[in-house]
Structure formats: C-alpha cells, structure tokens
Amino acid sequence: MKLTVEKRFNDRALLAEQLAAKVAGQLQEAIDARGKASLVVSGGRTPLAFFQALSRQPITWSKVLVTLADERWVDLDDSASNAALVRQHLITGRAASARFVGLKTPHATVEAGLALASDWLGALPQPLDVVILGMGNDGHTASLFPDCPHLQEGLQTQARLIAAHPASQPLARISMSLSALLNSRQIYLHLEGQDKADTLAKALAGGDVAAMPIRAILGQKQTPVDVYLYQEEA
C-alpha cells in the first residue's frame, strides 16, 4: 500500500500545530469555494492537543459543520461521549461558533437511532471536506473493529452509518461506514506513540482487512490519506 503522505514528528505540540494549520487551511478553502465546510473527527485520547490547536485557528468557524466518525451510545454528558470530548476541546475559543452535529440520538439503542442519525449526517455538505481518523492497536478505525460482528456490513454498505457492537468494547457504538468515510476530499490518520507506529507498519505490511480494518483506508485509491505520526526520538 502506498501512502499519499506520511509526516513523522518527534514533537507532539508541533504535530498538533501543523495538522491544525493544514486542516484549517482546507476548511477555509472549502468555505471560500462553496460557502461552508464539513469536518469529521474521531474520539479517543490522541486528538486532544490537535483539537485545542485547531480551535485557535482564525478561520470562518461559523461556516464549519463538525461531526463524528463514530460515537459511543451513551448520554451526551457521559465521560465516554465523543460529543462531550469534541464540545469541550474543539467547539471552543475561536471555533465556538462552529456547528456540531453529533451521532447520538435520544433513542435507547443504536439500531433505533440509526435512521435519524443518518439524516443528521446526510444534511452535511457531501463530499465531506476533511476526515480525521485515529487507529487502535487492533487496527480498528472509527468503530470498524476486527472483533465486531457488523464489520463486513461497515466495509460494504452504502449506508452512511452502522450499529457496532465490538466484543472488546464495553459500549455499543455507532460508526460511519467505510463508504461514508471515503466520500470525502481528504483523510488524515493521526497516530501517536511507538505502539501506533508498529501497528501502522503491520497494517501496511499485510492485506487482510478483516484482521485490521484500517487497511481499508490505507489500501484504497479514492481519497487521499495523509498520516501524521508522533514517535519519540529513537
């Protein structure tokens, strides 16, 4: 698999600032060209410094729509909520005027909420302008997990969203499908740490997507994928 771009950093803050500046530039280009911009972000620990750096970028945030690549099916004030994470660290400061569109509906189950969440997601400008993905050390991205019974659906469906119940995860999740993630102008894969660097190398060295779903992103030619990787200096 040939990556479009792979930028390696030994300074976390520098990665956060450079990725934020790059993403902000693309969002402003989208606003200038089409009047608005759409940004998809992931949860987890990795993106916090990037979110904070991005929220300081001087762009027309009132024209930016932010949503999630996936979400845990918990209340919006739950500590596990990606919506809460994004509202706290990204939809703040200069970016406070951005419009956040979450994936968690009031329904009790993901399955019951799928249709409404899909309508919400479908209201964003398509193709999406920028998608930020993370990766777990099992090779998952968004909530496309190798141990999820719905993985093949997530890789093959043309639907925007799937319900995901990964065996390794305590919470049910909703996830953008592969086709929804690839319906975008630019994907950034943001990874930090030697473990993630090793997982990336393993993913690039093999082809079994069911074993490492991130391979579906790395191995496709539809959407540019830039990898921003932080590794401590050897």
Ligand X SMILES: O=C(O)[C@H](O)[C@@H](O)[C@H](O)[C@H](O)COP(=O)(O)O
Q: Does 42 bind ligand X (CB under 6 A)?
A: yes
Closest-CB residue for ligand X?
134
Contact between 23 and 39 under an 8 Å Cβ cutoff? The reply is: yes
Q: Which is nearer to ligand X, 43 or 146 (CB)?
A: 43
Q: Which amino acid is at 143?
A: S
| C-alpha pair distances (Å), 27 with each of 36, 60, 64, 186 | 8, 9, 7, 11
In the sheet with 173-176, reading across from the earlier edge strand, the strands are: 70-72, 173-176, 161-164
Q: Does 82 bind ligand X (CB under 6 A)?
A: yes
Q: Which is nearer to ligand X, 44 or 93 (CB)?
A: 44
Name the DSSP class of 90. Answer: T
* Choices 18-26, 39-47, 103-111, 156-164 (CB under 6 A): range interacting with ligand X: 39-47
Q: How many residues bind ligand X (CB under 6 A)?
A: 14
Gap between the Cα atoms of 163 and 153, Å rounded? 9
Of 8, 45, 198, 232, the one binding ligand X (CB under 6 A) is 45
Residues 132-151 that bind ligand X (CB under 6 A): 134-136, 140-142
Q: Which is nearer to ligand X, 42 or 57 (CB)?
A: 42
Residue the block writes with tokens 């890789």: 155
Binding residues (CB under 6 A) for ligand X: these are 42-46, 69-70, 82, 134-136, 140-142
